Amino acid sequence: MPHTIVLQHTQDNKAKTRRMLWVDGGEKYNNKSTASSFRIDIDRDVVVVTIELIGNEYQYRVAINGLNYSDAYQNWKTKHSKK
């Protein structure tokens, strides 16, 4: 079953800023912090959402069971296309 993950990251010039994370509409994290990695257990899967500052830009990455999102999606697609 597909899931929805929403990360809201509001960064200003302060080190601690608001980070909020929802999974399937339910709030999982809501704090002012410097946290850059969030681990979530969804069913039998481990999802890690990461905030990275590269140069002057923020990049956001999702890993599922240790695989980047693209690879995890391809595995899921292959597994479910055989049914």
CATH of the domain at 30: 2.40.128
Q: Which residues contact 20 (CB under 8 A, 6 or more apart)?
A: 6, 7, 8, 27, 29, 30
44-74 confidence digits (pLDDT tens): 999 999 999 999 899 999 999 999 999 999 9
> What was the pLDDT predicted at 2?
83
Task: Give the pTM.
Answer: 0.85
State which amino acid sits at residue 50.
T
| 4: three-class secondary structure by DSSP | coil
Task: Work out the pLDDT band at 26, boundaries 50, 70, 90.
Answer: very high
- Distance, in Å, from the CA atom of 2 to the CA atom of 14, rounded to the nearest integer, reads 35
> What was the pLDDT predicted at 27?
97
The alpha carbon of 39 is separated from its chain's Cα centroid by a whole number of angstroms, namely 8
CB–CB of 8/18 below 8 Å?
yes
Count up the domains in the chain and report the number: 1
User: Is 60 exceeded by the pLDDT of residue 19?
Assistant: yes
Take residue 27 and report the two structure tokens written for it.
């709030």
> What was the pLDDT predicted at 38?
97
**30 lies in which domain range?**
5-81
> What was the pLDDT predicted at 82?
66
> What was the pLDDT predicted at 83?
55
> For 51, left (φ over 0), alpha (ψ -120 to 50), or beta?
beta
